[in-house]
Structure formats: C-alpha cells, structure tokens
Amino acid sequence: MTKTAIITGANKGIGLAVAKNLISKNYQVILACRDISKGKMAQEFLGSNAKFLELDLSRPSSISQFVNQINSDYSEIDVLYNNAGLIYRDFELTEEGYESMLSVNYFGAYRLALMLLENLHRRSGRIVQVTSLSMYLARTFNLDGLHSMESFSPSNRYNLTNLLRSMFAIELENKLKKTSISVAAAHPGVTKSRKSRPYEVKKIKKSFYTYFSTNIKTGIAPIVRAIEDENITAELVYAPKILGVYGRPSLMKYNKLVYDQGLRGKLWSYTVNELNLDI
Ligand SMILES: NC(=O)c1ccc[n+]([C@@H]2O[C@H](COP(=O)([O-])OP(=O)(O)OC[C@H]3O[C@@H](n4cnc5c(N)ncnc54)[C@H](OP(=O)(O)O)[C@@H]3O)[C@@H](O)[C@H]2O)c1
C-alpha cells in the first residue's frame, strides 16, 4: 500500500532529498513549504507523487489551515517528518512575537505534530523529528527571556533549539506510549545541503564546514532509517556513525541534558503555557 508522508521545508536541502528518496520507494509526499513558488518548483521537480501545500511554521493560522487541508484531503497520514528549520539567524520576532528560530524549529514542529495526532493515529503513524549535532554544544537549559534580544546569539539559540527538538522527541514518545503512534529523532551530521549554511556565518566557519561536511546521501541516511525502521525509539538519535558526521547511520546518545526528565517536564509545561496546546 502506498504510504503518505508530510515533509516540512521540502523545497530544498535535506527535506527535498528525503522527499526524493521516499518517492523512489513509492511514497506519496506532501511538500509542506512556506514559499509558494519554491514549493511548486519542488513539486514539479519531484513529479506526480509529490504534492505541494503551503505551510509557514512561524504562523499559527498557517499551521491550522494546513492541518485542515490535510484532514480534508488525506485522512490517513503515515509519516510526519519535522524537517523545516532556520539556522543561525539574527534576532527577529515573528508576527506572534516569538524569536524566529525558536518559533520555527521548535514551536512550529510541536504545534504541527500535536495537531496531526488524530490523523496519524489512524495509520499507526510516525513522527520523525530532525535535530542536530549542535545540540551537544548547548551547555545550559534556560527558558527565561527567550523572546528578548538580551543575551541572544544566533549560534547559542540554534544549539538550544536543537536541544529542545531532541527533548521534545523523547517527551512526545513518552506521552504517546499508549497510542499506536511512534516517534524517532535523527540528525544528518554536517551535510552539504546547498545554501543550508547561512550567509551570516563568518568566512572561517564557512570554510570549516566546507572542509568536513558530507554529501547529502550520508546526511539523509539516518533520517530515512528513522522513517523506515520497524522498531524505533526516540531514546536514542539516528546519526552518522563516526563522530556523528561520517559513515552509515547508527543510534547514538543525545546531549545528557536531554535525558533529564525534570528538565523535559519543565520544557513541556513551558510550551503548553506558551502555545496553549497539549495532548
Ligand atoms: N545541513 C546540515 O548539515 C544540518 C545539520 C543538522 C541539522 N540540520 C537540520 O535539518 C533541517 C534541514 O536543513 P537544511 O540544511 O536542508 O536547511 P535548508 O536548506 O536551509 O532548508 C530549510 C528548509 O526549512 C524551510 N523553512 C524555514 N522557515 C520555515 C517556515 N517558517 N515554515 C516552513 N518552512 C520553513 C526552508 O524554506 P525556505 O526555502 O522558504 O527558506 C527550507 O525549505 C533544518 O531543520 C536543520 O536545522 C541540518
């Protein structure tokens, strides 16, 4: 039977490459993208098993509209791959007043996943959350003042959003234990995903990344495993085996902060409070 997967941010980079891979395995893929012309271009590039639907994860109204559209056109979704993200962005607030990396990388993924649970449940579906090696660089867990510019830096905030994405995967799995929905997390290492590196990154960093980043095939392999493996758990993260950068996918431990149940509980309450949305 053909499976249906939603991939957010599927118009380029890792999202587009995962979409291509799944389509080659006979999936129907919904390309959930914020930019209409880029979304349509990706749909054309991927062919008739791809369908573009507009989704801007920084806008709650866009997420609601997207979910309504999905529920009316696709009553049974097998996979949600939360891929979309902003990397090392300067401080900017969304219409809602949230810092943009936090809004897209974490709040948007949380909102979308929770709003699609009923649909995913019909097919014993799966939620795969992307995260990043940068989660290991997050040294502290502090949820104070996240929407203010004070003490904001693009790299610290990106690292934090990946810590939060990882904690979200485990906590979501725990909350869904009694349902048929499974949850997994994966990161691609450091992958040449074309323009995935932001213009803000300084020259030295750029060349550093260029030096050891891998091809897109290595990068998407852990994600595809997280989507397709039969027995999965979000307790470990799928990642390239060697140093989390090179080689075949393997299951690795997260940053140890991710395993702190108390912090995960705090994060969940904080998010429920901010978004007024719970399971
Ligand atoms: N590349 C790596 O080495 C690497 C490593 C670790 C983790 N990751 C994670 O993997 C994911 C994909 O990375 P990538 O390298 O493929 O990045 P990318 O090329 O920059 O693609 C990011 C995608 O997210 C979309 N997006 C951004 N804001 C959005 C919003 N508000 N609503 C919906 N979509 C939005 C972008 O759309 P637009 O084209 O419209 O901007 C784009 O399609 C990211 O979440 C990143 O954090 C990447």
Which pLDDT tens digits describe the chain residue by residue (279 residues)?
899 999 999 999 999 999 999 999 999 999 999 999 999 999 999 999 999 999 999 999 999 999 999 999 999 999 999 999 999 999 999 999 999 999 999 999 999 999 999 999 999 999 999 999 999 999 999 999 999 999 899 999 999 999 999 999 999 999 999 999 999 999 999 998 754 443 444 555 555 667 778 999 999 999 999 999 999 999 999 999 999 999 999 999 999 999 999 999 999 999 999 999 999
* 178 CA distance to ligand 1 middle (Å): 31
Residue 264 in contact with ligand 1 by CB distance below 6 A: no
Is residue 109 within 8 A of residue 131, CB to CB? The reply is no
* 193 CA distance to ligand 1 middle (Å): 9
Which residue's alpha carbon is nearest to atom 13 within ligand 1?
14
Residue 79 in contact with ligand 1 by CB distance below 6 A: no
H helices present in the chain, as ranges? 13-24, 36-46, 60-73, 100-101, 109-115, 117-122, 154-175, 203-212, 216-228, 261-275
Which residue's alpha carbon is nearest to atom 15 within ligand 1?
196
Which residue's alpha carbon is nearest to atom 20 within ligand 1?
196
> Which atom, in ligand 1's list, is nearest to the CA of 87?
47
* 86 CA distance to ligand 1 middle (Å): 6
- The pTM for the full model equals 0.96
Evaluated on CA atoms 242, 190, 183, 72, the torsion sign reads negative
CATH of 4-275 given 3.40.50.300, 3.30.70.1290, 3.40.50.720, 3.40.309.10: 3.40.50.720
